[in-house]
A and B are shown apart, each in its own frame.
Chain A
Amino acid sequence: MSKASPEIISTYKQDSSALTLKWLGKPLKPKEDYRLVRGRGMFVDDVQLPRMAYAAFARSPYAHAKIKGIDVSRAASVPGVLLIWTGEDLKKRMRPLPQATPPPARNAIDYPLAVDKVRFQGEPVAMVVAESRYAAEDAASQIDVDYEPLPVVVDAEKALEPGAPLVHDEVGTNLIAHVHYKWGDVDYYFQHADMVVEGKFHYHRFTGAPLEPNAVVADYDERADIMTVYCNNQAPMEWLPQLSAGLNMPYPKVRVVTRDIGGGFGTKLVNYVYMVLASLASKELRRPVKYVETRTENLQAAAHNAERTCYVSAAVQRDGTVLAIRMKCLDDDGAYARHEPAGMTVWAQVSTGMYRIRALENDFYAVFTNKCPSTSIRGFSRAPHLFMIERMMDRIARKLGMDPAEIRMRNLVRPEDMPYMTPSGGLYDSGNWPEGLRKALEAADYQGWRRKQEELRRQGRIIGIGVVVGSDSAGPNMAQVKMYNPGLPYTSGTEGALVQMTPDGKVRVTLGTSPQGMGHETTAAQVVADVLDVDYDDIYVQTGFDSFTSVYTMHSGTYGSRFAPLGLSAVYLAAARLKEKLAKISAYVLNCPGGDVVIEGGKAYCRADPQRSTDLKRIARIAYGNVNEMPPGMEPGLYSIAIFRPPFQNPDENKRANLALTYSYNVHVVVVEIDPETGMPRILNYVALEDSGRIVNPLVVDGQVHGAVAHGLAEALYEKYHYDENGNLLNSNFVDYLAPTALEVPSISVLHTETPSPFTPTGAKGMGEGGGTAVQAVISAVEDALAPLGGELEESHADPEVILRILKGTSS
């Protein structure tokens, strides 16, 4: 709404004086890649343990049905079967999974195996553990379940109608949660605006489909009474409480480990149900138990994004100024609230996009349906929020006869307003956004394409140009869950790191995060190298997370684009503290005048007398072994632990709060051509500009942009789940769920502006999810192509058939 107050800015401002800027920004070869190009990654399915058994599941063919009986006798007779559990067996061994929802949705009973009834197609009904994967699958296919099909609800709006089938009978309604926000004087702006523009939009259902499916190996060591869980969860600490409670074992006895993870994109936040099941089975059998999801299981039943329907209106001035937004939204969260309804509040502050919109009202409902439970897929929640505002911008521009780039330019937050506070209390940290837009338009030859569009149209060719701006709001403040459930004891967003100089002078780093290809080992090493000014190759970052060795908080993990703003900040702090200690020891050892020592290039020397120097290796040996040479009273060792805590606060009584630490900025300009006779779209040009603050490693940053673009355009053009009215998922493997290949994804040109964030010590901002900007850009371009025919797209997915119907003027 305006520039943030100096008090707020000073609270957020970070000290970055320990940076040397010698190692940041360099395209160093990623540390992870060396083992991965040699096929030596360590993924969960690569874990082989003696006496390991394998799990498989029988799953529901129905979207909603009563379980009248389960006969496991045929399955039990399959050679090699060790254990068969149904929901009833599980009920005796664990309590239901805790619900983060407010009442009455909190009454929903959620077990990892269905009890009494099934609520979505693919829901696990029974688990088999056997000597081999093959035997486990044989037995799972021979579990006989007697189902009584129940009426199904697959539409969020219908789910709220009286008499709709209830997904959870014990809840008494399909409403998971309802929140209402009103920030700024919305009514005033709507009364006094020159005009009101309206639209209805639907953000469709898809998933992240990482190439490695969910997997877990649980290994109960009876002698040590320790449960080790090798998993590929993105934030295992979030689920340790569930594991600990389910196993009735304290945290120090439950070791969760991640190593290489084959992609996540949000889907792997909710695989804890498998972690619980495999752990319980391992404890029961006293054997390691492995479960690896099949692709069909993964696409059908692991994790989808929440579908969102919004009715949006905008109060607009004739000159294109957008004053206020009012919207009513419904999230279709599927059958269980295992992660959602977080999406209806998370990132609510970006509902007004990158614009100086003065006021916002949002009436938000989250709903159960008989579909796969939803979670935070890449771009989570900000992508649909930004979709709504960006679609509106295009519509407003058309109504006013303005160029879509021009209307954005007019409304963008200006550099002089930074740091900028949104109506909802969001704090946009930095950037020159109009400049970024200008740069992207120029790089994409926007004006040239506009002229070409006209020329080609005269030849019967249909070209569309999409220009959108967006944000990867990053490093979430978890207190936002209080907006729908004030009682939840979960706030802020923190991360930990350990930086240790070992006695040989090398540096060991452990992180609280569980990366899935984001290059954390690389960028953490670069930050450590930069602060300590030691060689990148001398820094060893532990792969993945280990709750027995990593420094963690309950927020730890890799989600919400949080590593750069939170994780690297912890790394910076730990390295800076270590550097201080190294300096103190060195000054003492070298007897530097005034204790003034410089640490540089792996050495320490007295500032006043650079000849008096030592390499840090010697200092390390002293700190661990030759301790009498250390300053008297100083604690030996070179361990440095830091936990970064941003100055986040809880939402105030008006639900105003800053919900993310940094706000990357991106502009995508895309040109599509549509085959006038088949409706098939083809991308002719793709330009993505990214400002993610200080770039730690350009290879990593560009890679993330490429990936976010590929996901977004895939969602817009290829990937969409289709449920029929009976809740059958019609595309649950890669035959029909169209993950694009190298022939569909075009080459992408990436450019940058680089405005360091004042709110992180490294200046880096979170990035990589892309905020769904690619979805919006592609849809914007397709709609731009169809606009002369009066075609408007309601959905975030443009199927050639939908396009052809618009071209032909026929409705479906």
Chain B
Amino acid sequence: MRPAPFEYYAPTSVEDALRLLEEKEGAKLLAGGQSLLALMKLRLLAPPALIDLNRIGGLRYVREDGNGWISIGAMTLYDELEQSPLIRTRYPAMHEALYRLGDQQVRNRGTIGGSLAHADPSANLPPVMVALKAQLVAARRGGERRTIPADEFFLDAFTTALEPDREMLVEVRLPPWPPGSGGTYMKLSKREIDFSIVEVAAQMSVDGDGRVKESRVVLGSVATRPYRATAAENVLSGSVVDDALAAKAAEAGTKDLEPPSDVQASSWYRKEVAKVLVKRAILRAWKRARGVEQ
């Protein structure tokens, strides 16, 4: 199928892109296009105008800042991130989520900013961003920047805290986690390339005895936005993780879930396997934090 007609703009600066976004009613920003163009081809979306961000320079980078933060330009490709040794060593959860995101051609074209701004409740990266305590940087006209914690960024299915027609995502900032930290991303899907039936990102830091200092357990595909299993985090807090504790945390963390049903899985199945994935993710994240597993 082919998209309906639209006007096309290819600005070369963030400022121009924001001006167009403000001026052109109903315009959509086009990043990697791997979700947007599919929706337009199916004619589920027919925006009157597209603002293509691919000609804007300076939005494709991964760099370590002096203070241990990692900054990622919004137009950085999934593949560039997946190949980045910095991401792989510092944030294995993010590396795993990228490795299991779409397929090679999607990773060669799709961007982190596009995915996060699209806010698909089944996408791989949003739960990871919440688990890692990422900060998302929004730009407004006149060089104005606003930083939004990932916790507050995803509001609903396909809805973010970005102000419509006025803001665009330009950077993702990942905070340093202390030594003795580890994380993982797990997804359950029938085909590897599919969006998840359930996915979990877990990140934690432990003390010298293996007691959990801080943890984040975040699920995707179970609600309209990333679901932080705070009850699981509370169970873990201050404890050494073993199978029984992980199971207890998983039970607590998924108790209140009311996941959606769709053609791939019922609500019941999602809830059952959410428990399993949370348990497994907690165990692996803890082992990684302890340095006993890769």
Residues of A within 8 A of B (CB): 133-134, 137-138, 141, 294, 296, 677-678, 680, 717-718, 722, 730-731, 733, 735-736, 738, 740-741, 743-744, 800-801, 804, 808, 812
Contact = CB atoms under 8 A, between A and B. Distances in A.
A743 B194 CA distance: 12
B157 interface: no
Contacts of A804: 269, 272-273
A730 B191 CA distance: 18
A799 to B, nearest CB: 8
A318 B211 CA distance: 62
A741 B192 contact: yes
A536 B65 CA distance: 66
Nearest to A724: B263
A141 B4 CA distance: 9
Contact of A731 (B188, B191, B263): B263
Contacts of B276: 677-678
A730 B263 CA distance: 7
B67 interface: no
Contacts of B263: 722, 730-731, 736
A718 B189 CA distance: 11
B5 interface: yes
B191 A740 contact: yes
23 contacts: A133-B2, A137-B2, A141-B4, A141-B43, A296-B1, A296-B42, A677-B276, A678-B188, A678-B273, A680-B188, A680-B190, A717-B190, A731-B263, A733-B42, A735-B194, A738-B194, A743-B192, A744-B191, A744-B192, A801-B265, A801-B268, A801-B269, A804-B269
A228 to B, nearest CB: 26
B2 A738 contact: no
A743 B191 contact: yes
B53 to A, nearest CB: 24
Nearest to B192: A743
Interface residues on B, range: 20 to 34
A735 B272 CA distance: 23
Minimum-distance CB pairs A-B, first 3: A677-B276, A801-B269, A730-B263
Contacts of B273: 677-678, 804
Contact of B190 (A138, A141, A677, A738): A738
Interface in B145-194: 188, 190-194
Nearest to A681: B190
A678 B189 CA distance: 11
B266 interface: yes
The secondary structure that dominates the A interface is loop
B192 A736 contact: no
A680 to B, nearest CB: 7
Contact of A800 (B4, B268, B269): B269
B264 interface: yes
Interface string B252-276: 0000000000011110110011001
A808 to B, nearest CB: 8
Nearest to B41: A294
Given A677-B276, A736-B264, A718 B191 contact: yes
A511 B193 CA distance: 40
Nearest to B275: A677
Contacts of A717: 190
B135 to A, nearest CB: 32
Interface string B1-17: 11011000000000000
Given A722-B263, A744-B192, A137 B269 contact: no
Contacts of A731: 263
A681 to B, nearest CB: 10
A597 B61 CA distance: 78
A738 B1 contact: no
A138 B194 CA distance: 30
Interface in B82-135: 103
A808 B275 CA distance: 14
A718 B194 CA distance: 12
A735 B35 CA distance: 11
A694 B266 CA distance: 49
Contacts of A800: 190, 269
B69 to A, nearest CB: 35
Given A137-B43, A678-B188, A718-B190, 11 more contacts: A137-B1, A137-B2, A138-B5, A680-B188, A717-B190, A735-B194, A738-B194, A740-B191, A741-B103, A743-B192, A808-B272
A346 B267 CA distance: 41
Interface in B36-92: 42-43
Nearest to A733: B42
A475 B107 CA distance: 46
A87 B263 CA distance: 33
A674 to B, nearest CB: 13
Nearest to B1: A294
A375 B273 CA distance: 37
Contacts of A736: 263-264
Most chain B beta-carbon contacts within 10 A, residue among A677, A731, A744, A808: A677
A84 B172 CA distance: 51
Contacts of A730: 263
B265 A138 contact: no
A583 B276 CA distance: 75
Most chain B beta-carbon contacts within 10 A, residue among A678, A717, A722, A808: A678
B55 to A, nearest CB: 24
B191 A134 contact: no
Contacts of B190: 680, 717-718, 738, 800
Nearest to B276: A677
Contacts of A718: 190-191
A800 B265 CA distance: 9
B191 A738 contact: yes
Contacts of B192: 741, 743-744
Given A296-B42, A736-B264, A741 B191 contact: yes
A137 B43 CA distance: 10
Nearest to A680: B188
A740 B194 CA distance: 10
